[in-house]
Structure 1
Amino acid sequence: MKNVIITGTSRGIGFEMVKLFSEAGHNVLALSRNSKPVSDLKLKNVTALEFDIANEPEVVNLSAYLQKAMKTVDVLINNAGFLVNKPFAEITAEEFKRSYGVNVFGVASLIKTALPFMKTDGHVVNISSMGGIQGSVKFPGLSAYSSSKGAVITLTELLAEEYKETGPSFNVLALGSVQTEMLEEAFPGFKAPLSATEMAEYILDFSLSGNKFYNGKILQVSSTTP
């Protein structure tokens, strides 16, 4: 049984991952600004906490909880994301800051909090986007989102290098389009080739075994563009 932390668990891929990890017998800490969807499931070995990854004091306080309730962290999946689809001229400074607050700064803070509880064979999986891959097809309206996801990719590579002697391993999955609520909100009517459950199954498998084969790698998980 692994101790697993997943962010962004109130819906979409994160919500499905919580169910899959629970079914597989793992101990899950589900972090989201809205804990009710997971709490209502009453799953075995799952704790759902109200948590805003962009709120620095909440991230700091998480350390005390981990010390008391979890002791060790085997897998950290940074799945939480904030997406705004607007022309660059219309995106507000607050929306841009929120994108980076959730997608970059929050990820960095949570990793820093979890690291003291992770061992050499631990695995940090950061969820990015094909939009963050240099040279990939880009879409108007995603300047804040895609650029922040590009930053997460570079951060992952840097951390893998910095911790290559001691662990844990760091990898990043650049996802293509997945049929989630966030995708529907950003691109109404667009139909993705993969469901949230299908992608959750892939991420679960990768998070448990991918660090045996990869460290500091970017895996493009997409059969289409976007």
Structure 2
Amino acid sequence: MQKNIIITGTSRGIGFELVKLFAKAGHRVLALSRNEMPIASLNLENVTAFSFDLSDAEDYKQVGNFINTHWQQVDVLINNAGMLVNKPFSEITMDDFEAVYKTNVFGVAELTKVVLPFMKAGSHVVTISSMGGVQGSMKFPGLAAYSSSKAAVITLTELLAEEYKESGISFNVLALGAVQTEMLEEAFPGYQASTSALEMAEYIFSFSLTGQKYYNGKLLQVSNSTP
């Protein structure tokens, strides 16, 4: 059955691969990224891509209008977009922290709020976090803003699952380990991950369509390595 899927952070890495997987499976996709060209240039059937900045209040209205006009319903929201700053703590500015949290936390909350009125029982909100945001996991210097923001969305997911438990909408969060993406290179220059962006996208694709049957308000650690 054709579903309506919204994915953020689609210009590269896991998000880019996810759009292609959903399109190939016959679903309708709204691909949101600051740079819409990588997806738009693929000319995929049933895929709409427009420029979207998680820190721009006006862009959220555009999303709401699109859903209202074209879909009326959203089955899956994948909060995949992320921003990473890799600096020693002594050098991270308040502006750095604010930029990271605006994308990784406030943006996730705001887009989820915009999309929720269009969701129904059986819909699934999947937020992509990081192993660095998991309490008790190994931590790495330079990632104070990034990893702490990824911890925030884990708790946010648990809270939303509780607040909306009567609705039948599920909220889950995936804490990813090392995946060979541009962002991994920014965090750990030269490190080679054993998992590719496509392999992780295939897992998220499957989980977002079926995971709500088995999980709600849960953190799943999707990692086979450290980092």
TM-score range normalised by the length of the shorter chain: over 0.9
- In the aligned structure 2, how far is the partner of 1:56 from the partner of 1:120? 28
SS for the counterpart of 1:194 is: coil
Identify unmatched segments of 5+ residues in structure 2: none
Q: Cα distance, 1:60 vs. partner? A: 3.0
Residues in 2 aligned to 1:130 and 1:86: alpha-carbon distance in whole angstroms? 18
Cα drift, residue 88 of structure 1: 0.7
CA distance, structure 1, for counterparts of residue 133 and residue 58 of structure 2:
28
Which residue of structure 2 aligns with residue 93 of structure 1?
A: 94
- 2:121 aligned with 1:120: yes
Task: Assess if the C-alpha contact under 8 Å between 2:143 and 2:187 holds in 1.
Answer: no
| 1:193 corresponds to | 194
Against the structure 1 CA distance between its residues 44 and 61, is the aligned structure 2 distance closer, same or farther, given a 3 Å change threshold?
closer
Residue in structure 1 matched with residue 82 of structure 2 by the alignment: 81
- Cα offset for 1:105? 0.2
- What's 2:152 paired with? 151
Q: Provide Cα deviations, 1:84-136, integer angstroms capped at 9, x if missing partner.
A: 11001111211110110000000000000000100011000000000000000
1:91, 1:192 → 2: CA distance? 26
> Unpaired segments of 5 or more residues in structure 1?
none
Q: Report % sequence identity.
A: 68
Mapped to 2, the partners of 1:104 and 1:63 lie a distance apart of: 19
**Counterpart in the other structure of 2:108:** 107
Q: TM-score, normalised by structure 1?
A: 0.98
User: Which position in structure 2 is the counterpart of 1:8?
Assistant: 9
SS of the equivalent of 2:138 reads: coil
CA drift at 1:55:
1.2
Q: Which amino acid in structure 1 is aligned with residue 37 of structure 2?
A: K
Aligned to 1:203: 204
Residue type of the alignment partner of 1:135: G
Q: Given that residues 56 and 106 in structure 1 are in contact (C-alpha distance below 8 angstroms), is that contact kept between their aligned partners in structure 2?
A: no
Amino acid at match of 2:119: M
After TM superposition, the runs of 4+ consecutive aligned structure 1 residues lying more than 2 A away are none
TM-score, scaled to structure 2? 0.98
